[in-house]
Amino acid sequence: MSLQPLWVHKWFVLCALVLISVGGWQGARMLFGPEVVVDKVTRGNLVQTIVASGHIETPYRVEIGSQITGTVNEVLVEEGQRVEKGEPLIALEASEFKATMVEAQGALAQAEARLRQLRELTLPTAREALEQAQATLLSATQTYDRAATLNKNGYATKATLDDAQKNLDVARTQVRTAQLQVFTTGPGGSGYVMAETQLNQAAANLETARSRLGYATIVAPRDGVLISRNVERGTVVQPGKALLVLAPSGTAQVVIQIDEKNLGLLTLGQSAIVSADAYPDKNFIAQVAYINPALDITRASVEVKLNVPDPPKYLIQDMTVSVDIKVAESDNTLILPLRAIYDALSGSPWVMTASGGRTQARPVKLGLRGATHVEILDGIAEGAYAVPRTAQMRTGQRMRPVQR
């Protein structure tokens, strides 16, 4: 058979083939429905977050002043300077405080010498005197016993017995005196306690003098940046007047406004990821530390503050930040993209499944909601296909599912 007639009418044949193909495609489309890209119910981990924007705040500022009245000898720092805890900031005239400390050191040395004298000299001497008095008492007792025996047998006079009795009484008195001296100069005795009291008072006076001398140098109470300076050399300062203002470092808070509908999801201690708008590629961690018990009725929101335990150095006061607060998470759970959920904010959410070549509406029970996915608690099984809302399909319509 010759192909010449077909070649002559090649454009007619080509058009006919195209029309047959289009007709077949349209017929298949009418018979089996259009192809629709669907989402599949899978298992995965889901984190629910609250997204908000806010700003950086310093929780507090430290006003630095003098604890004593004095004249400023030198200001050692400048406004805007970063300082460390314990770093000297202001030096006051300290000659008077130094003299008082020298005097207190002398009084302490005297008190220590007095107590050492009691321990090393007075108390040992009193103990030796007690031993000697006890020996004398023993001898006087023996003499009296002999005189009493002789007097009873008629070999000694009454005068001899009286002398022995007198010597015995004197020896007993000497022993009691020596015992009292040992007790007084020993630990717990009045002399010892008085010496200890004088030592403690001298030590306290020295500590007071040392503290007042220390107050002559005003130091940074903690690390931070000096944001204000109201003192110059020669100024007479008094307690209660702020000389410097310090913004502490290592302490920062993120302040945000949360929509009241999310209030029930917030609890203290929840973690968040924060990024500054000026540094969007850098993140840091914060924790919910304060939830205002009162709502802002004009904005229907509540103020929330988050502590930043390790703030990056680039953070500055009032810097704008974005916050993602993790409020819940679920591992190995059924998830589906949010685009496949119909009436998600109503009390009766549902999905459009692709089963048997037709769409079908299925009510579902939702759990956690993430940024792009939602947790499926009931209503649809793992591996099922769901038609996204963007497909604009009707319930019962024929379709051919195509997985993404």
pLDDT (tens place) for every residue of the chain, 404 residues total: 444 554 555 555 565 555 555 444 444 444 556 888 888 889 988 888 888 999 988 777 889 999 999 999 999 999 888 899 999 999 999 998 899 999 999 999 998 998 888 888 888 888 898 899 899 989 889 988 888 888 888 776 788 878 888 988 998 999 899 888 888 888 888 888 888 889 899 999 999 999 889 999 999 998 888 888 999 999 999 998 999 988 887 778 999 999 988 888 899 999 999 999 999 899 999 999 999 998 888 888 999 999 998 888 888 778 899 999 988 888 999 999 989 899 888 888 999 888 778 888 889 999 888 878 899 999 888 888 888 988 888 888 888 888 76
User: For 256, what's the count of Cα atoms within 13 Å in the CB-facing half-sphere?
Assistant: 27
Closest Cα partner for 318 from 283, 281, 278?
278
Q: Which CATH code of 2.60.40.10, 2.40.50.100, 2.60.120.10, 3.40.50.12280 fits the domain covering 66-93+217-248?
A: 2.40.50.100
> CA–CA separation, 396 vs 73, rounded Å?
90
Alpha helices in 4-66 (DSSP H): 4-8, 10-32
Residue range 53-101, pLDDT digits in tens: 999 887 778 899 999 999 999 999 998 888 999 999 999 999 988 999 9
User: For 265, what's the count of Cα atoms within 13 Å in the CB-facing half-sphere?
Assistant: 20
> CA–CA separation, 37 vs 387, rounded Å?
7
- The residue ranges of every structural domain in the chain are 35-59+251-404, 66-93+217-248, 96-214
Non-local CB neighbours of 383 within 8 Å, separated by 6+ positions: 40, 41, 42
Let me know: does 196 contact 222? Beta carbons within 8 Å.
Answer: no
Same fold, 35-59+251-404 and 66-93+217-248: no
Q: What are residue 195's phi and psi, to 5 degrees?
A: -65, -40
Query: With b meaning 16 or more CB within 10 Å and e meaning fewer, what string describes 349-373?
Result: bbbbbbeeeebeeeebebbbbbeeb
Q: Cα 256–259–263 angle (5° rounding)?
A: 95
In the chain, the amino acid numbered 28 is: A
Q: What are residue 117's phi and psi, to 5 degrees?
A: -65, -40
Q: Which CATH architecture has domain 35-59+251-404?
A: Beta Barrel (2.40)
Number of Cβ atoms within 10 Å of the Cβ of 232: 9
